[in-house]
């Protein structure tokens, strides 16, 4: 395991990460650098701020640092790095709302004056006005090269870094960052082609950033993404998504709705060629749809206690078609959620909550779509067709729009009362 600094100078850097000395409190500067036109002498370094050497809420001026990533976001933020590089040499500068930042170039030398802020467990510099940023011309930015990932990436936040190789282990999250085998995400606002499951990158570089989901390597342009070898990707059938354990931004290339969309935007879908009970999922944020609608579905896939829930991003343009054929299942489990199924010999035991009925098969039966069948306790359904739904227990929701009459109802003969 090792790291090397690259730039106008190159030298070895050990990975014994000493925490910057805390407890050294620097006096509050009398003026911001923008008011004086020059950086005041002395003051804390990036190491001091990152290590808590300046108290939360105090003003601090960090002099002669290099921009390691230009501004992005709203309000904008950028990263700076000490010219010597190394652990804890990077620092995030967060601008307050309404602060106009100039165009900053990577490697530009700046002096920044702002308020030290402890945010999400990390110290950063809070820039409250544009006069707190002094541009001082172009410098030479060092790059730290990692042949092997460090034990923790936290000390390298804000540092320009390069990895020899990494592989993407899942699909991108809502922000577009994908997990990797290097213990860090990969993505960011400047990467045009999003990483996907199985992609392998050689010689990828960027800045270590702090998106909401955790630390990530953000290439600052397409060239820094290095050489990428595509993997299987995140456009997969539901069965493959489930078996591979993929989550995040995915696409199901060919799916069919197994139930109508309810008033809350919820529905269910399964692979169009499904022949097993592991091909269904729950849909959310869908504007409209009917059973049999077929097409591609794209969105954010999450696992909620075994239930796969796909929150639709861009609304699909499906082709109307026939509803899927129900699967005959002897037993139901979590993998059946979302699939259209047929359950034989279903006995009604008692009334359940929210208008449902408890059955002798360990699942409940929705009464919302059973009209005009007046189901009662002790009734018996010779066949029930519907979509397996995730409620307190397994929940079968028969739908007349799917198969006409949802179930064949039989009742035990009533005893004859002698006159």
Going by CATH, does the domain composed of 3-138 fall within 2.40.50.140? Answer: yes
Q: What percent of the chain has pLDDT over 90?
A: 57
CA angle 243, 246, 249 (to 5 degrees): 145
Going by CATH, does the domain composed of 327-410 fall within 2.40.50? Answer: yes
User: What pLDDT does 294 receive?
Assistant: 96
Does 406 have pLDDT greater than 80? Answer: no
Whether 107 contacts 66, CB under 8 Å: yes
Considering only CA atoms, which of 249, 226, 224, 227 is closest in space to residue 236? 249
Considering only CA atoms, which of 363, 352, 357, 354 is closest in space to residue 390? 363
Question: How many other CB atoms sit within 10 Å of the CB of residue 10?
Answer: 11
Report the SS3 class of residue 242: helix
Torsion of CA 155, 159, 164, 168, to 10 degrees: 80
Task: For the full predicted model, state whether its pTM sits above 0.75.
Answer: yes
Give the confidence band of 44 by pLDDT, cuts at 50, 70, 90.
very high
User: What pLDDT does 209 receive?
Assistant: 97
Rounded Cα–Cα distance for residues 403 and 117 (Å)? 61
Chain segment 343-389, per-residue pLDDT in tens: 777 777 887 776 677 777 777 777 555 444 456 666 666 556 566 55
Whether 3-138 and 327-410 share one fold: the answer is: yes
Does 31 have pLDDT greater than 60? Answer: no
- Sign of the Cα torsion 228, 234, 235, 240 reads positive
Tokens representing residue 106 in the block:
């990577």
User: What pLDDT does 342 receive?
Assistant: 77
Whether 198 contacts 167, CB under 8 Å: yes
Does 162 have pLDDT greater than 70? Answer: yes
Question: How many other CB atoms sit within 10 Å of the CB of residue 131?
Answer: 16
Does 37 have pLDDT greater than 80? Answer: no
| Preceding omega of 75 cis (within 30 degrees of 0) | yes
Chain segment 206-225, per-residue pLDDT in tens: 999 999 878 999 999 999 99
Rounded Cα–Cα distance for residues 367 and 379 (Å)? 13
Report the SS3 class of residue 51: coil
pLDDT average, residue stretch 241-268: 92
Chain segment 53-110, per-residue pLDDT in tens: 999 999 999 999 999 999 999 999 999 999 989 999 999 999 999 999 999 999 999 9
- For the chain, which residues make up each domain, given as ranges? 3-138, 159-229, 238-312, 327-410
pLDDT average, residue stretch 318-347: 78
pLDDT average, residue stretch 391-419: 42
Chain segment 165-209, per-residue pLDDT in tens: 999 999 999 999 999 999 999 999 999 889 999 999 999 999 999
Residue 217 bridge partners (DSSP):
186, 208
| Displacement of CA 174 from its chain's centroid (Å) | 4
Whether 131 contacts 161, CB under 8 Å: no
User: What pLDDT does 200 receive?
Assistant: 96
Q: How far is CA 332 from CA 9, 72, 123, 140, 335, in A?
A: 64, 48, 51, 63, 8
How far does the chain reach from its first CA to its final CA, in angstroms?
94
Report the SS3 class of residue 48: helix
Give the confidence band of 307 by pLDDT, cuts at 50, 70, 90.
confident
């Amino acid at each position: 395991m090792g790291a090397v600094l690259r730039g106008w100078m190159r030298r070895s850097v050990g990975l014994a990460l000493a925490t910057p000395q805390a407890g050294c409190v620097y006096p509050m500067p009398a003026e911001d650098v923008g008011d004086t036109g020059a950086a005041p002498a002395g003051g804390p370094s990036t190491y001091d701020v990152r290590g808590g050497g300046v108290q939360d809420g105090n003003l601090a001026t960090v002099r002669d640092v290099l921009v390691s990533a230009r501004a992005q976001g709203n309000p904008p933020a950028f990263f700076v790095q000490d010219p010597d590089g190394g652990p804890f040499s990077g620092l995030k500068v967060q601008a307050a709302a309404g602060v106009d930042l100039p165009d900053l170039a990577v490697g530009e030398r700046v002096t920044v004056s702002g308020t030290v802020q402890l945010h999400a467990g990390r110290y950063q510099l809070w820039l409250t006005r544009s006069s707190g940023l002094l541009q001082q011309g172009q410098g030479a930015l060092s790059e730290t090269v990692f042949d092997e990932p460090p034990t923790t990436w936290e000390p390298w936040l804000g540092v320009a870094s390069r990895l020899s190789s990494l592989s993407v282990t899942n699909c991108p999250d809502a922000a577009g960052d994908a997990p990797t085998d290097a213990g860090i995400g990969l993505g960011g606002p400047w990467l045009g082609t999003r990483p996907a499951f199985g992609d392998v990158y050689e010689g990828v570089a960027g800045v270590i950033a702090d998106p909401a989901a955790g630390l990530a390597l953000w290439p600052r342009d397409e060239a820094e993404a290095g050489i990428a070898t595509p993997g299987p990707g995140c456009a997969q059938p539901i069965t493959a998504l489930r078996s591979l354990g993929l989550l995040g931004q995915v696409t199901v290339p060919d799916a069919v709705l197994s139930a109508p969309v309810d008033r809350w935007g919820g529905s269910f879908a399964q692979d169009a060629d499904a022949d097993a009970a592991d091909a269904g999922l729950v849909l959310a944020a869908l504007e409209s749809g009917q059973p049999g609608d077929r097409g591609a579905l794209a969105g954010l896939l999450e696992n909620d206690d075994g239930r796969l829930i796909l929150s639709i991003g861009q609304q699909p343009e499906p082709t109307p078609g026939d509803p899927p054929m129900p699967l005959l299942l002897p037993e139901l489990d979590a993998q059946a959620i979302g699939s259209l199924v047929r359950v034989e010999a279903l006995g009604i035991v008692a009334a359940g909550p929210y208008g449902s009925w408890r059955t002798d098969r360990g699942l409940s039966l929705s009464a919302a779509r059973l009209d005009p069948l007046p189901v009662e306790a002790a009734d018996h359904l010779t066949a029930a067709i519907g979509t397996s739904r995730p409620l307190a227990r397994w929940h079968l929701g028969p739908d007349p729009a799917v198969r006409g009459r949802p179930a064949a109802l039989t009742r035990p003969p009533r005893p004859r009362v002698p006159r």
